[in-house]
Amino acid sequence: MTYETYQHLIYSWMVLGVVISLVLLRVAAPFGRHTTSGWGPMINNRMGWMVMEMPGMMLLMYFVITNITSQNIVTGVLVGFYMFHYINRAFVYSFRIHTRGKKIPAIVVCFGICFNLVNGFFLGYYFGHFAQYSLDYFITPQFIAGTALFGTGIYINWKYDNKLIHLRRSGDTGYVIPFGGLFEWVSCPNLLGEIIEWSGYALLCWNLPAVSFVVWTAANLIPRALSHHKWYKKRFGDYPEERKALFPFVL
């Protein structure tokens, strides 16, 4: 595949992400608190998360391993950042969430697999065929700033995922209003953290597929945060009026 063809595919993928985002602004993805009947067969929630998150990193690693002679330590570090997120998401987060008895529509899992496979393909193909990072890339401004942003995003995402997990006792399936820290400003600081994380990744990688990844991340998580915010306000009459959905003071 030529780089020009590769670019056209990614631009088309980003346009599709914007279109999907517009759909999600009207129809909340049916999992978690937004799960409803009528979306077809359901599977175990924990298993669904694992199945969704694994294929993308496996495909990315396939391209990297099969082109290992063209790699250097810089590419290995960039791939490592990606793997760090997804190993946690697939094998740590999925076992920490309190979801006993909960299920997720199989169609959501299928969409998640497709999303991760396409993103894993674009990133893996780039790292395997087009990446040309010199060894002094580690001291470039974009790598240093991007790494700091990536780390900040992970910290926020993990911290507030952890707070949400511990709002429930094991086996409890109810919801309560979260308070403290960034929850005083927004309804979904964990999702904000993930957007910051992948924005940092796009900056530190400095390549088109990483930009595409953050576009799709925002396309999924901004509507998700708005749906959560609307759900909180509808469910709890005393929900704090000053809170925004995702970005403090803005949205």
**Phi, psi of 163, deg, nearest 5:** -65, -40
Higher-pLDDT residue of 118, 37 = 118
Write down the mean pLDDT value for the chain. Answer: 89
Question: Residue 41: its pLDDT value, please?
Answer: 84
Query: What is the rounded CA–CA span in Å between residue 19 and residue 170?
Result: 38
What was the pLDDT predicted at 151? 97
How far is Cα 147 from Cα 61, in angstroms, rounded to an integer?
A: 21
Separation of alpha carbons 205 and 133, rounded Å: 9
Q: Which of 5, 28, 19 is nearest to 224 (CA)?
A: 28
Q: For residue 22, how many other CB atoms are within 10 A of its CB? A: 10
Q: Residue 100: which pLDDT band, with cuts at 50, 70 and 90? A: low
Are 124 and 167 in contact by the 8 Å Cβ rule? The answer is no
pLDDT tens-place string over residues 122-174 = 999 999 999 989 999 999 999 999 999 999 999 999 999 888 887 765 455 56
The alpha carbon dihedral of 109, 113, 65, 157 has a sign of: negative
The stretch 8-30 carries a mean pLDDT of: 91
Q: What is the pLDDT of residue 45?
A: 78
Parse the chain into domains and list their residue ranges.
Answer: 3-235
pLDDT at 43 over 90: no
Which run of H or E residues covers position 106? helix 106-125
